[in-house]
Amino acid sequence: MERTLIIVKPDAVQRGLTGEIIKRFEARGLKIIGMKLLQVNRELAEKHYAVHRERPFFAGLVEYIISAPVVVLALEGTDAIAAARATIGATKPAEAAPGSIRGDYGLEIGRNLVHGSDSVENGVIEVANFFTEADLCGWSRDVDRWVFE
């Protein structure tokens, strides 16, 4: 089973879309194994976006993610990375498919509602940035036998 980190970003939280976004991942079949509402501090934001440190938009990313509360989710499932990213939609909302989160609710790249891990390796790293193993809850859903082979 893969793990992915999802961040319901400040724009989505402020717009009251948190429940709708979580609902889409659950309806997809992904299992929540960790969830927190938090105010990201600068240190964690810089660590999370470290891959972009040399990019001109790095400072803006950091300022944005620390500007208001976020909801972070650790999700688990078969091909969780690809499933979550398809559910989220393309980075640029104008290019995101209708039915995806960004396609339905986003207009601008800088306010694209959700972050999702982009690889299995980054999923492991990003989940560990926001959750300890003790924070995560391994559990079985009765519906799992209808979702996973």
Task: State the burial class of residue 5 (Cβ atoms within 10 Å of its Cβ: 0-12, 13-18, 19+).
Answer: buried
Which of the residues 9, 85, 102, 115 is marked catalytic? 115
Instruction: Copy the structure tokens of residue 50.
Output: 């470290």
d(CA 148, CA 78): 7
28, containing H or E segment? helix 18-28
CA 19 to each of CA 1, 8, 57, 59: distance values in angstroms, whole numbers, following the listed order: 24, 10, 29, 29
Cβ atoms of 3 and 80 closer than 8 Å: yes
Q: Determine whether 52 is an active site residue.
A: no
Cβ atoms of 51 and 62 closer than 8 Å: no
Neighbours of 139 (CB within 10 A): 10
Which residue numbers are catalytic?
115
